[in-house]
Amino acid sequence: MNVEELQQIAADAEEKRGKFDYEVNVCMGTSCLAQHSERIREALAKEAEGCGKRCHVRRTGCMGPCAAGPMVLVEPAGTLYAHVGEHDAKDILESLGREPVARLDPRLGSYFEGQHFIVLENVGHIDPENVDEYVGRGGYEALVKALTEMNPASVIEQISKSGLRGRGGGGYPTGLKWDTVAKVKGAQKYVICNGDEGDPGAFMDRSVLESDPQRVIEGMAIAAYAIGATKGYIYVRAEYPLAVQRLTVALREARRRGFLGNAICETTFSFDIDIRLGAGAFVCGEETALIASIEGKRGTPRPRPPYPAVSGLWGEPTLINNVETFANVPPIIRKGGEWFSSMGTARSKGTKVFALTGKIQRTGLVEVPMGMTLRQIIFGIGGGVPDGHKFKAVQTGGPSGGCLPEEHLDLSISYDALISAGSMMGSGGMIVMDDTSCMVSVARFFMEFCMQESCGKCVPCRAGTVQMYELLTKICKGEATHRDLDQLTELCEVVGATSLCGLGQTAPNPVLSTLRYFRHEYLAHIEEKRCPAGVCACSAAEKPVAEEARV
């Protein structure tokens, strides 16, 4: 593979595209597939054969507005159809070149306003299992450029210049991490892609892997070149079967085209990737636990230092980044670090993909520039809270994050702003809650999650989350006193300060943030034995929920 060959593949893909006047792209993401979009694609393909128009029906990845699925995108007009059924195939094909089918209008309002696609630039336009279509849209240009025109140091320089920070939650500067691993001496270095997305309500990484897997592979290959690794692993949850299947095909295709394997681009650079499946433990998203899991050991974290950059997989220097981080790499190398750093805020650059869920009009996947306000995302893109209810809070950062109330809606999204408000960026889950949600029971839900997902290695997390969960249950049932609240606060402090890994250290965050902004709801449960949202059955003679949690 060299530049000419790459251009040839791109030109062939373009020529193939040119044979058709119309492209009908059917979403084959998990949520549309669940609504039988495969059957819709078959119906469309059947209609297309006999309609006499030069039309190509293509399977693509998630287009974003999942609540409106199954989605169909018609190009070149750019018409988006929502809630498409098999019986609509005929009308869609007939409308090509004419007026769009009015009844299938998605009525998305301002859903795409203000969104900026970098990570999601190809979604809806390419077949995730076809590597040539990815190349046709500029794919692997960055890898070939890095290998033929840049040395590893200048690749890292561009990543540093871009200001890209880890998209998995921590927000560690990616360039700095690469630089560290590059400088550590080691006979065998590794690149790991963390696709163990487990936050409740988060599906960004799943969508990226399902829709544009080549982008992640390209990002990893560039990283491997920059740090001097020859072997990579993608750690992806087994609960994402479609992502695993598409990745498997994508890896095979990338090898076939020579983007992976020996002597890539006729250089001395060799790199290959294997998939490792996570077995359903949230804690394996923590980097040291993930590494232990790849090694075939029990997935538990270990104290750092040594950091994986120095001693990671099998004791070798290891670079570990999140799916979305790697997905940002190819465009940065293609267009330069300065282009990327021109977007976003002072210390948070580029864009961020969020999974908008909960009590919101338009559920889906969105990508916005850093610095956009929560209000713009929730009320502009998401269309606000449905059914005349009132917005109460937005939860970001999953079980490590917190709930932000209405007065923080004008907060500009950045790593630092979210942390100072008591939440965090996390991997990008955004759960909107309205006045029917009880914040104590929300905190209890997240604590239950942490309790069940604690690995059990260190005692503050293992035993502390159980105690906090039981105190929250007590509050929800209207049986708690002020003393219980004090004990809960103290436990939050101790568990946060003394736990071994990020899971335990951040487990108290949902409690702390709801205590900070919704203390009155806690007090109503305690003093008035009343749940303001009407969710908790205070003082009801129901079976104690806590029983199940016990051994």
Partner 1 sequence: MSAEANIRTLTIDGADISARADQTILEAAREHNIAIPTLCHLEGLSEVGACRLCLVEVKGARRLLPACVTRVEEGMEVTTHSAKIDRYRQMILELFFAERNHVCSVCVANGNCELQNLALELGMTHVEIPYQYPQLPVDASHPRFTVDHNRCVLCTRCVRVCSEIEGANTWGVMGRGAQSLVITDLKEPWGESETCTSCGKCVQVCPTGALFEKGRAGTRTAKHPEFLPYLRIMREGDQP
Nearer to partner 1, 160 or 499 (CB): 499
Least distance CB 302 / partner 1 (angstroms): 7
Among 275, 463, 523, 545, binds partner 1 (CB under 8 A): 463
Among 465, 506, 513, 514, binds partner 1 (CB under 8 A): 465
> What x-and-dash track marks residues 217-246 binding partner 1 by CB under 8 A?
------------------------------
Nearer to partner 1, 120 or 526 (CB): 526
Q: How far, in Å, CA of 272 to CA of 233, rounded?
A: 8
Among 11, 279, 346, 459, binds partner 1 (CB under 8 A): 459
> What x-and-dash track marks residues 498-537 binding partner 1 by CB under 8 A?
xxx----x--------------------------------
Among 457, 516, 529, 530, binds partner 1 (CB under 8 A): 457
Least distance CB 499 / partner 1 (angstroms): 7
Binding to partner 1 by residue 455, rule CB under 8 A?
Answer: yes
* DSSP tag of 474: H
Nearer to partner 1, 255 or 462 (CB): 462
Q: How far, in Å, CA of 531 to CA of 478, rounded?
A: 8
- Among residues 70, 500, 498, 92, which one has the least CA distance to residue 289? 500
Q: What are phi and psi of 405, to 5 degrees?
A: -85, 180
Binding to partner 1 by residue 173, rule CB under 8 A?
Answer: no
Nearer to partner 1, 21 or 486 (CB): 486
Number of residues that bind partner 1 (CB under 8 A): 34
> What x-and-dash track marks residues 252-281 binding partner 1 by CB under 8 A?
-----------------------------x
8 Å CB contact between 270 and 230: yes
Beta-carbon contacts of 61 under 8 Å, excluding residues fewer than 6 positions away, are 27, 28, 29, 122, 123, 124, 126, 128, 207, 210, 211, 212
Binding to partner 1 by residue 489, rule CB under 8 A?
Answer: no
Among 497, 520, 534, 544, binds partner 1 (CB under 8 A): 497
Nearer to partner 1, 103 or 550 (CB): 550
Binding to partner 1 by residue 302, rule CB under 8 A?
Answer: yes
Query: What is the three-class DSSP state of 432?
Result: strand
Among 470, 507, 509, 514, binds partner 1 (CB under 8 A): 470
8 Å CB contact between 233 and 223: no
Q: What are phi and psi of 241, to 5 degrees?
A: -60, -35
Q: How many CB atoms lie within 10 A of CB 510?
A: 30
Nearer to partner 1, 241 or 280 (CB): 280
8 Å CB contact between 300 and 455: yes
Q: How many CB atoms lie within 10 A of CB 18?
A: 9
Among 338, 490, 527, 528, binds partner 1 (CB under 8 A): 490
Q: Of the ranges 71-79, 221-229, 260-268, 497-505, which one interacts with partner 1 (CB under 8 A)?
A: 497-505
- Among residues 331, 323, 414, 29, which one has the least CA distance to residue 159? 331
Q: How far, in Å, CA of 293 to CA of 290, rounded?
A: 5
Query: What is the three-class DSSP state of 67?
Result: helix
Please, what's the b/e burial string for 127-155 (b: 16 or more CB within 10 A of its CB; e: otherwise)? bbbbbbbbbbbebbbbbbbbbeebebeeb
Tell me which residues touch partner 1 (CB under 8 A): 281, 283, 298, 302-303, 451-460, 462-467, 470, 487, 490-491, 494, 497-500, 505, 549-551
